[in-house]
Structures are given as C-alpha cells and as structure tokens.
Chains A and B, each alone.
Chain A
Amino acid sequence: VAAVLDLGHHAERIAQLDATRRRARGWRYLRYALIALLVGWSVEAIVVGDTDWSRISVAGVASAAWRFIDFDASILLSLWEPALETVLMATLATLLGALMAIPVAWLGANNISPLGRFTYYVGRVLMTLSRSVHEVVWGLVFVAAVGLGALAGVLAMAVRSIGFISKTVAEAIEDVNKGPVEAMRAVGANRFQVLMFGIVPQVLPVIIGNVIFEWDVNIRRSTIMGLVGAGGLGLALHRQMASYNYGGIATVIFVILLLIVFGEVFSAWARRKVI
C-alpha cells in the first residue's frame, strides 16, 4: 500500500517525464525525417537530374575502368625526378609553413597573445582562413601570383599548413605548465625570454610531432599541385591525362601511392623518435 501511495505521490512527475521524453522523441523523428528528405532531394538531383543514364552502361563503365589496368612501365623511370620534386616541394612547404605558423600561434594563443583579445582574434581568423581554403584554390591563387612552377606549389602548401600547425601549437601553448613561466617572470625575464625559455621547451615536442604529421599530409597534397600548374607528380599526371594515356595515369598513381606509403612510414618512425 505504501508503494502505491508513493507512486501516486510521484504520478505527476512521472507524467511530466513521460511527456518530455515523448516530445524529445518527436523532435528526433522530425530531425531524421528532415535528413532523409534532404538526402532524397539531393540524390534525386544527382542521380536523376544530373546524370545521363543513357550514356552510362555497365559495359561502358567496365571498359572505361579497364583502360587503367594497362600499366605503362615505360614511363616509370622518367617519374623519378617528379617524385623527388614532389617530396622536396612538400618538405620546403612544411618548413616554410612552420616558420609562418610561429607568429600566428603566438597571436592565437589565449595566454600569451600580445595585445589580449584583439590579437587573439586576429590569430584565430588567420588560422581559419588558412585552413578553410582548399589547397587547389591556394594553388590557383599562387600560380596566378608567381607563375607556373614549383614555387607556387610550395607557397600554396605552406599557406595551407599554417592553419593546422599554428592551431595545434596555440592549443599546446594554452595548456602549458605555468610553473616555469612564473619562475622566469619572478627572476625578471622579459616577455621574449619567457617565451623562448619558459614556453618553447615545453611545447617543442608537440610542435615537431605536428610538423612531421603535416609533412605527411603535404606529400599527399603535393602530388596534385601539378594539376593546377605547380610541378611534381601532378604535372606528370596532367601530361598523361592530356595524351589520354590511361596506362600512364595508372603508373603515375602507382608511384603516388608508393610515395604516400613512404611518407606515412617515415613520418610514423620520425614521430616515434621525437615523442
């Protein structure tokens, strides 16, 4: 009897909770329905509106894919130089990007930003701007600005790298151990000295680890910079595409894969060494 009475006491609350749950479920279904509706609308636009199915057949797709299987080994040796260029472009871009990321991280770290809120936001905006533009777009911008060639690719990837490196470094600076910093301030170090000897030694492993990671990503990026006019394997790919040599395309992609595996293995090894 006591239990029943107790339940009666709570009945109103239970009903309330039930209603909340029902409402939450209703919202959830509405959300799912909205997602499904958007997907349906988009799929319709892509599959029905934009694709000419009369021109796509299983046989056609199969034969189009089959063209790639014809591996063209004759150009393999000539790809050595573009492959080297690709790696060097990525390396230079990463170094340059890391250099340019230092001031941005300094601005964008909450605790050391030189003029407080204002410069903090400047740093954050620079990070977002660098990251939110795709490397192809950066490539086009720099090809337009400095002309065709490896320099445009290096600059494009460097600018694209600033965002990631400076963001992670700024985050590392923000949760730096305060002890050494305060100790240095107490003995009368100026801001630069605090930065150099109180903060940098603490965040250096993070910086190096992230720079190596970004190098790995930049190798991937640098394989396509040639498609917009900066050198490397992308240019070789572009040439094979322009001459409709599908076997050659397959060969270039094979070399790109080799390069990426090399980059991944090397960067994993280097990161283990550093951290």
Chain B
Amino acid sequence: VNTSTKTLPEWKRFRFPQSLYKYAALLASLGFVWWSLDVLKIDVERLPGLLERIGDVLARRYWPPDLAHVMQPDFLRAIVDTFQMSYVATVIGLLLAIPLSWFASFNMTPSRRFLYPVCRLFVMTCRSVHEMIWTIILVAVVGFGMLPGTLAMTLFCIGFGGKLMTEAIESVRKGPIEAIRATGAGHLQTFVFAVLPQVRVAWAGIAIYTWDVVFRASTVVGFFGAGGMGHYLRESVQKVESRQVTAIILTIVAIVIVAELTSAWARARIARAVA
C-alpha cells in the first residue's frame, strides 16, 4: 500500500556505466568524423545547402537530357556490344568457376594441401581487385576494345560467382557424398553425382545473379578504354557535353534496372519451380 506513493526511478535503456560508455563512443566517433573531414580536405562550412547546390547544378547544366545522342545507331550498337561482352564473360567466367569453386571448397577439394590454397587465392584475388582496375590492366596489355573488357569481366565473374559457388558447395549435405564415396567413386564421380545435383539449383540462381552484376559493371568498363556504352560516357564527359552525359547515364540506369528485374524474375521462377 505504501509502495504506490514512492516514485519509481525513470526507466532508461542505458544506466550509469553503460550510458557513459555510450556517450564516450558517440563523442569518439564524432571526433573521428571531424578528423577525417579534415584529412580529406572537405570544407565543412560548405556542407549546409549542399543538396540545394547539387540540385541547382544538375538542373542548370545537366537537364534536359540530350536524348538524340543516345538514339544514334552507333550508340545502339554499343548497347548490343555491352550485352555481348557481359554475356560471353559470364558464360566463360562461370564455366571456369565450376572447377575452381570445386577445388576451392574446403569440404570437396581433391587436394587440401595444394589445389585448395591455390584456387582459393586465385578466386580471392579476382574478387578483391576492383573490376575497373582489371580493365585498366588489361587495356594496357591487349589494347583498346571489347576484348580487354570481356577478359576483365571474366576475371570479375570468376571472383564474384566463384565465391558464391564455393559457398554453395561448402553447405552441401554429407549423406549423399558418403553414400557415393562408399560405392568406390573417385573425386570426379563424387563431384558429378553427389555435389552437382545438390548445388544445381543454387548455382542457377547464382549464375543469373552474376550476369546481372557483370552486366552492371560492363556498362562502365568502356570508360577505361574497353568497349560498350562506357566509351560514349567517357567521350561526353571529356567534351563536357553535360546533357549527353545525362542521357547516357539515364539509358544505363534504365537498361540495368530492366536487367535486374529480368534477373529477379528468372531467379524467382527457378525458386518456384523447385519448391
């Protein structure tokens, strides 16, 4: 009866020691942000009103898009080029990624001492280096055109798809593998008859997703000297033809979104067909 008159302390999510840590962490991160802005020479005084200025610049110089530029036959041809590059790179890259992801998976690799680290490192290197750096290197080695773009995308595809495919292999069920092994099957036979049937569906989804990502990247490889739409982007950027740049970027965005929707639809269909 007496307790109701006594006021309870106000509920707080963090009490004394934790709340202190929380504020200290907040203060430290604010300090870090301040220091980074200083190192990066970003002028803090110019930050307020930034959005307004961005909108102003875009509206004044980049609008309306020069749609005639993206309607010329050369550019339409470049769109087809982009598609071809991404397609070939995905098919070849994924074909190469099949054995690589097999060798690079810890549970199924035929040789843990040699093949596993080598292939793992290769896939990791392909993945860690940004696709645009691959493009630059390959353009320097084999010259301008669609070939370096395709090769760079192939490496990117090995890195990106290979990692996902390896993860799929590493999560297979052990039962079928032991059953097939018990019949005296070798490494290849185990892979073909116990692993492939289990990862087939996941790999199909991964393949489509990889194509989607590779296509997105191949729209801009041309910016660094490989073929496709990116080449036109670079020309317009260098000539400061801002309205053409807008038109090209909008075209790229539209095509990529269509590609992404198609890929999402295809993946959903695969998932439904299996379920």
Binding site for B on A (CB under 8 A): 35, 38-39, 41-43, 45-47, 50-52, 55-56, 61, 64-65, 67-68, 84-85, 88-89, 91-92, 95, 128-129, 131-134, 136-137, 140-142, 144-146, 149-151, 154, 197, 220-221, 223-224, 227-228, 231, 237, 241, 246, 249, 253, 256-257, 260-261, 264
Contacts and interface: CB of A to CB of B under 8 A. Distances in A.
Given A51-B147, A146-B54, A241-B136, A257 B257 contact: no
Contacts of B132: 136, 224, 227
B164 interface: no
A237 B140 CA distance: 13
B190 interface: no
B137 A223 contact: no
Interface residues of chain B: helix, strand, loop or mixed (majority) = helix
A197 B137 CA distance: 51
B42 A150 contact: yes
B120 interface: no
A41 B81 CA distance: 11
Interface residues of chain A: helix, strand, loop or mixed (majority) = helix
Contact of B58 (A145, A197, A246, A256): A145
B161 interface: no
Contact of B41 (A35, A52, A150, A246): A150
Contacts of A41: 84
A157 to B, nearest CB: 12
B257 A144 contact: no
A129 B84 contact: no
Interface in B18-60: 29, 32-33, 36-37, 39-42, 50, 53-54, 57-58
Contact of A134 (B32, B91, B142, B219): B219
Interface string B125-146: 1001110110011001111011
Interface stretch (B65-73, B96-104, B176-184, B220-228): B220-228
B109 interface: no
